[in-house]
Amino acid sequence: MKNHKEEEIWIGGKDLGSDPEFLKTAGNEFTDTPLYETMGEATESESYKTDRRDFLKYLGFGLGAATVASCDIPVKKALPYVVKPDTIVPGIPNYYASSYVNGGDFCSVLVKTREGRPIKIEGNSLSSVSMGGTSARAQAYVLSLYDTNRFKGPIARDGEKGFAASTWDAIDAAVKSNLNGNSRIAIISNSILSPTTKKAIARFKSSFPNTKHVSYDPVSSSAMLLANEATFGSKVIPDYRFDKANVIVSFGADFLGTWISPIEYARQYAKNRVIKDVDNASMSKHVQIENGMSLTGSNADNRILVKPSQQGAAIAALCNLLGGSGSGPSLPKEIMDSLRVLADELKGARGKALVVSNSNNVSEQILVNKINDVLGSYGNTISFAHPSMQRQGIDSDMNDLIADMNAGRIDAVMVYGANPAYDFPGSSFADAFAKVDFKLSFAQSNDETTALCDYVAPDHHGLESWGDAEPKLGHCHLIQPTINPLFNTRQAQTSLLTWAGEKLDYYDYLKSNWTQNILGGGSWDKALHDGFHNSGASYSAGAFSANVGNALSNVSKPNSSDLEINFYETVHMGNGQFANNPWLMEMPDPVTRTSWGNILHVPVKFNGVRKFIGFNDLEDGDTVTLTVNGVAQTAVVVQQFGQMPGTVSLSLGYGREVGGKSAVGYGTNVNPWLTTDANGLTQYYATDVAVSGKTGEDDDFASVQYHHTMGVKDVNTAGEEVVADELATGTLVKGFEGSLTNRSIIRRTHIADVKEFVHHLHEERHHFEHLNEQTLYPYDEYKEDLYDQGHHWGMHVDLNACIGCGACTVACIAENNVPIVGKHEVHRHHEMTWLRIDRYFYGDADNPNTVYQPMMCQHCDNAPCENVCPVNATNHSSEGLNQMAYNRCVGTRYCANNCPYKVRRFNWLDYTTADLWPSNEPELTKSDELPFGADNLTRMVLNPDVTVRSRGVIEKCSFCTQRIQSGKLVAKKEGRRLEDRDVRTACQTACPTGAITFGDTNNKKGQLSKKLRSPLNYVVLEEVNTRSSVNYSAKLINKIEKLDA
């Protein structure tokens, strides 16, 4: 559908379709909901009227209270250490190498601690697996340490009264009296990466020989394991090398966001997507075959839309096109045409191609292996030398266990780090679980499974424990504690060993296991310092051999249903493991830009007259009844570009019933809808689907998609193209210098056109420069005067490297004490994030391409916000920083209104309870509950170098000024010039792909200066003469044009 200009970019149906209501609000900085509505539940708007007498009362009280409050200067105590540990200097952070592990999720990290308190996670650049990258989940890991929902100690069920506090002795005694050498015990866990934990379980088994260990994954990759066993004789997941592939084809695998080892893959992927030399530009091609737009799909050059039930047939067809001889199920002609083009591309990239799939059907995975074998991927882009251990679970093992439990063949179950009552498909687990006599959980906080248990032996948090992880064979990483256990918890491994009759410290156990089996004579201290040790262990798999014909006939059959649904994992929520973490709950889904709940993606359709209509006439925020396999639930809808017609998508991980404040009551639980195939493997789609028409509206629909838009194009009554802002603010004459028309937000091109594009870009930038020079205040002169010595901070963002994963946004929250506001507040456009990732679509509205643009304060040297502040609370530093003095701010919000990038955030309410007046807190939460993060436990995560803002002030990205200041101090102390490594912003260090570079533009030898010389660079809204300090390099794609034809 080519109904729009080629140049057009859009964020959603509302702006592409010029929804008048949206255009009206887009021009305003703040939504102007009526006062009584913003005051929450108030139905009687009367009660919010203030009359003269009340006013005088408040005035009098205010004056009086201020006087009283300030007369009494509180006496503050300073408690020094009794015996100061010599490694701690108060005020100076210590970093410890450790690992973030959650089931199969892995990231090697450095934990920043202040006075013995972990406050921030950084990537460990030494690690051979995550290579310094992090994910949003890894960044948010530190908050889960201070989760108020954590168990404070061991717990036992006390009859019908429910859980009651217990003691470790009582738990040990209960285990001893209930279990003996003959007990049939099952340990349920997710994939365990830790070799020493496996050893501890084996030790437990030696005391309790009838123990079996069943592992499954919340989002299963069982079929891959079984397919590799069938074709190579080894039940492992091989080592994929996306950096070595020139053509990447993914059948639904979200390898940049959630699939197996996304941090590692993202880094590899970006290596081949970043343009290093414009004259000889080259990048890999990436084709995604899927129905709903995944994070990886949104980064692809081409997407081939197939229904979930057609995916198997598509794999079979591609296999046949590449030289197979069998026959698979038939597919629509346009899909076959696309696959033919794709097959040709792949053939041309033999040895440099990589095909992956998230299919959980063994036959389909065998065919994927066959395709890779035909293309010569094994030994080139895929290796078995260091296979991934990040997925080990076989779904059918759990089904066998459920059958055993139902048959009474299990006496005791211990649940370690898993939540099968919630995330195991279907609802059979809970019923079977109830038949077990002795049920124990190691959970750190309450969840659906733990709630069914008799005993809880809470495990330490990972930041409190010793441990190890081997995400890839031979790549062994260590976990070391960075804080004393906060609560009366005990490490699960210690519990297992204690019950097995061992009396030892888990640290000794770990160390002796490493010395004997892993280090091979290497130094323990070095491994602990680096966080890992590569033992050199490797593996060799057999040659490819499989019954392809059999596989071809066993792929899932396309369904003729009108509507299909697929269930997918999001980058922040997994399958619900992270629901207790408000940082992740409030992080918008990168593609839909919705937070606090899973939203049903429905396709949109063009009505022929600049209007886009959702499936069933549904609009964003409508609630519907979604019926899958005959079971109905309510879901909230969002219109999603790139969603295949005839399909809808809904994410896993929401609708938790037992959990913390941020977990329960948000979204729809899809796990009961999941079914298994003939092999007992979970299938993440359904074909028996019905979506009703609109049944209502979500009052707190928390989508940030249309918040903080930077100017939306429209056509005015005279037929001229203008920006929505102008409709609201009056009309500017077209061509007026520095006017807001033709905004330069996203620059993009096809790699084949890059030279022409660069020429055009430079012409245009030159034109802007010419316009901007027409001023009484020539920039170059005052720049030379003010900024050409010392430091001038700047940033470069490579849009080709940015995959939109959102690790930077969570890192920013952690570093800068950005408050979490909750669903209702997000709904009211009050989200506080300093760094947002804007998602724009372009190209074909039916199957668009996507650009992610991290948008933070641009630190303009000619900042529009600065000269409108009546109290000079925001002003410019000699180092080019746009400064914000919170204590000077009186909250006029003129600056936010005047910011063309829409990056300033206002503390509408007292989100942090930092305010002097407790009365400023109401209506934020129900009853006397504190806002998120305002309790004393969660406050331990705050960065002590950054002020916690209170109500009524504006805040925004500071370029991590606290890091700049401390970096400068380090250089001064060492008596040397400042170097790149001294100052790295939180977003920069979090990024798995290295998309963000921060530095001193006056340091001509630095990384930043090098990046600033790229001819692809542009400045967002350069035409408005803000003199921004952030450069973006244009987004390039390597689209296979024939696939679109």
Partner 1 sequence: MKSRSTGPALGGVEERWADYPQEDLYAWIRNSSSLIDAGHPRATELWNEWKPTVMQAFNELTDDDIASLLTYIQGVNDGTYPPQVAGTPGAEVTVEQNNNWIYYVVFGILSILALFLTRMISNLGRIVTKEETGVLQPSKTIVESLTSKSVISFLLFALVLIGGYTTVKNGIAWGRQQNYAPEQPIKFSHETHAGMQGIDCQYCHDGARRSKHAVIPAANTCMNCHSAVTKGSLHGTAEISKIYASVGFDPNTLKYIDNYENMSEDEIAKIYKKWIGDSYMSDAGVESLGREGERIVKEQWDGIVSSLTSDLKPSVYGPIPWTRIHNLPDHVYFNHAQHVSIGKVECQQCHGAVEEMEILEQYAPLSMGWCINCHRETEVQFVGNEYYNSYEKYHNELSDGSREKVTVEDIGGLECQKCHY
Return the number of the residue (79 or 609) whose C-beta is nearest partner 1.
79
State the nearest-atom distance from the C-beta of 1007 to partner 1, in Å.
16
Query: How is residue 819 annotated by DSSP?
Result: P
Contact call for residue 79 and partner 1 (CB under 8 A): yes
Shortest separation between residue 89's beta carbon and partner 1, angstroms: 5
Please say which residue, 437 or 974, places its beta carbon nearer to partner 1. 974
Question: Two tokens at 567?
Answer: 């269930």
Regarding 885 and contact with partner 1 (CB under 8 A), the answer is: yes
Residue 312 near residue 364, CB atoms below 8 Å: yes
The interface region with partner 1, picked from 67-75, 129-137, 571-579, 774-782 by CB under 8 A, is 67-75
CA 649 – CA 220 distance, rounded (Å): 18
Cβ 875 to partner 1 shortest distance, Å = 6
Query: Closest distance between partner 1 and the C-beta of residue 910, in Å?
Result: 15
Measured in whole angstroms, the distance separating CA 949 from the mean position of its chain's CA atoms is: 25
Nearest CA-CA partner of 384 in 235, 486, 253: 235
The CA–CA distances, whole Å, from 1038 to 57, 252, 279, 761, 802 equal: 67, 19, 15, 19, 15
Residue with tokens 């030159």: 766
Should residue 2 be labelled a site residue for partner 1 when binding is judged by CB under 8 A? no
Q: Of the candidates 741, 886, 1015, 1042, which one interacts with partner 1 according to CB under 8 A?
A: 886
The answer to the question of residue 83 lying near partner 1 (CB under 8 A) is: yes
Q: Where are the alpha helices (DSSP H) in 446-513?
A: 492-499, 506-513
- Residue 8: Cβ-neighbour burial (10 angstroms; 0-12, 13-18, 19+): middle
Alpha helices (runs of H) in 942-1036, residue ranges in sequence order: 961-974, 986-990, 1007-1012
If one asks whether residue 814 binds partner 1 (CB under 8 A), the answer comes out as no
Shortest Å, Cβ 490 to partner 1: 21
Considering beta carbons, is residue 82 or 733 the nearer one to partner 1?
A: 82
CA nearest to 535, candidates 553, 521, 552:
521
Place of tokens 């037929």: 719
Q: Count residues near partner 1 (CB under 8 A).
A: 51
- In sequence order, the β-bridge partners of residue 906 are 954
Contact at 8 Å (CB) between 188 and 420?
A: yes
Residue 966 — φ and ψ, nearest 5°?
A: -75, -35
Contact window for partner 1 (CB under 8 A) among 272-280, 554-562, 738-746, 945-953: 945-953
Applying CB under 8 A, does 520 fall inside the site for partner 1? Answer: no
The identity of residue 628, as a single letter, is V
Q: Which is nearer to partner 1, 557 or 972 (CB)?
A: 972
- Nearer to partner 1 by Cβ, of 470 and 879: the residue is 879
Binding of partner 1 by 877 (CB under 8 A): yes
Q: Taking the chain, what is the end-to-end CA distance rounded to the nearest angstrom?
A: 11
Which residue type does 92 have?
A: I
What is the closest distance, in whole angstroms, from the C-beta atom of residue 76 to partner 1 in the complex? 4
Does 515 bind partner 1 (CB under 8 A)? Our answer is no
Query: Would you say 253 or 954 has its CB closer to partner 1?
Result: 954
Using the rule CB under 8 A, is 1003 a contact of partner 1? yes
Residue number with CB closer to partner 1 (82 or 609): 82
- In the complex with partner 1, the residue whose CB is nearer, 128 or 875, is 875
Across the beta sheet with 382-388, the strand order is 237-240, 382-388, 467-472, 475-479, 532-534
**The one segment of 75-83, 328-336, 584-592, 687-695 that binds partner 1 by CB under 8 A:** 75-83
Cβ burial 565-595 (10 Å sphere, 16+ → b, else e): bbbbbbbbbbbbbbbbbbbbbbbbbbbbbbb
- Alpha-helix residue ranges (DSSP H) falling in 592-716: none
- Residue 90 as a binder of partner 1 (CB under 8 A): the answer is yes
| Residue 89 binds to partner 1 (criterion: CB under 8 A) | yes
Q: Which residues pair with 445 in a beta bridge?
A: 150
CB of 782 to partner 1, least distance (A): 14
Q: Which of 693, 888, 917, 981 binds partner 1 (CB under 8 A)?
A: 888
Name residues contacting partner 1, limited to 570-629 (CB under 8 A).
Answer: none
Among 278, 336, 541, 946, binds partner 1 (CB under 8 A): 946
Rounded least distance, CB 907 to partner 1, Å: 14
Smaller CB distance to partner 1: residue 435 or 968?
968
Beta strands across the sheet bearing 9-10: 9-10, 836-842, 849-855
Binding mask 959-978 for partner 1 (x = CB under 8 A): --xx--x--xx-xxx-xxxx
Enumerate the β-bridge partners of residue 632: 627
> CB of 960 within 8 A of CB of 985?
yes
The nearer residue to partner 1, 879 or 921, going by C-beta atoms, is 879
From residue 777 to residue 806, the character string flagging contacts with partner 1 as x (rule: CB under 8 A) and all else as - is -----------xxxx---------------
- Give the integer Cα–Cα distance in Å for 125 and 131: 5
| Close Cβ partners of 375 (under 8 Å, ≥ 6 residues apart) | 322, 346, 347, 349, 350, 351, 353, 355
The interface region with partner 1, picked from 212-220, 709-717, 939-947, 1030-1038 by CB under 8 A, is 939-947
Nearer to partner 1 among residue 525 and residue 785 (C-beta) = 785
Q: By the 8 A CB rule, do 695 and 685 touch?
A: no
Question: Residue 990 in contact with residue 139, Cβ under 8 Å?
Answer: yes
How does strand 696-697 pair with strand 721-723?
unpaired
Tally the residues of the chain.
Answer: 1045
Minimum distance, C-beta of residue 948 to partner 1, in the bound complex (Å): 8
Q: Give the CA distances from residue 394 to residues 216, 584, 675, 681, in Å, rounded to whole numbers and listed in that order.
A: 5, 28, 15, 8
- Kindly tell me which residue out of 50, 53, 75, 776 binds partner 1, with binding defined by CB under 8 A: 75
For 836, the enclosing helix (H) or strand (E) is strand 836-842
Residue 945 sits in the site that holds partner 1 (CB under 8 A)? yes
CB 263 within 8 A of CB 130: yes
Please report, as residue ranges, which positions from 380 to 409 form the binding site for partner 1 (by CB under 8 A). Answer: none
Considering only 346-354, 460-468, 476-484, 941-949, which stretch makes contact with partner 1 by CB under 8 A?
941-949
| 523 near partner 1, rule: CB under 8 A | no
Q: Quick check: 1002 binds partner 1 (CB under 8 A)?
A: yes
Rounded to whole angstroms, how far apart are CA atoms 765 and 1027?
12
Residues 6+ positions from 440 with CB-CB distance below 8 Å: 175, 412, 413, 414, 415, 453, 454, 455, 456, 457
Say whether residue 1045 binds partner 1 (CB under 8 A). no
Contact between 68 and partner 1 by CB under 8 A: the answer reads: no
Please choose, out of 1-9, 83-91, 276-284, 1028-1036, the segment that lies near partner 1 by the rule CB under 8 A. Answer: 83-91
Least gap, CB of 274 to partner 1 (angstroms): 29
Report the residue from 24, 57, 84, 766 that binds partner 1 according to the rule CB under 8 A.
84
Asked if 733 is part of the footprint of partner 1 (rule: CB under 8 A), the reply reads no
64 counts as binding partner 1 under rule CB under 8 A: no
- Of 137 and 1027, the one with the shorter C-beta distance to partner 1 is 1027
Per rule CB under 8 A, is residue 116 in the interface with partner 1?
no
Binding residues vs partner 1 (CB under 8 A)? 70, 73, 75-84, 89-92, 788-791, 875, 877-879, 881, 883-888, 945-948, 958, 961-962, 965, 968-969, 971-973, 975-978, 1000, 1002-1003
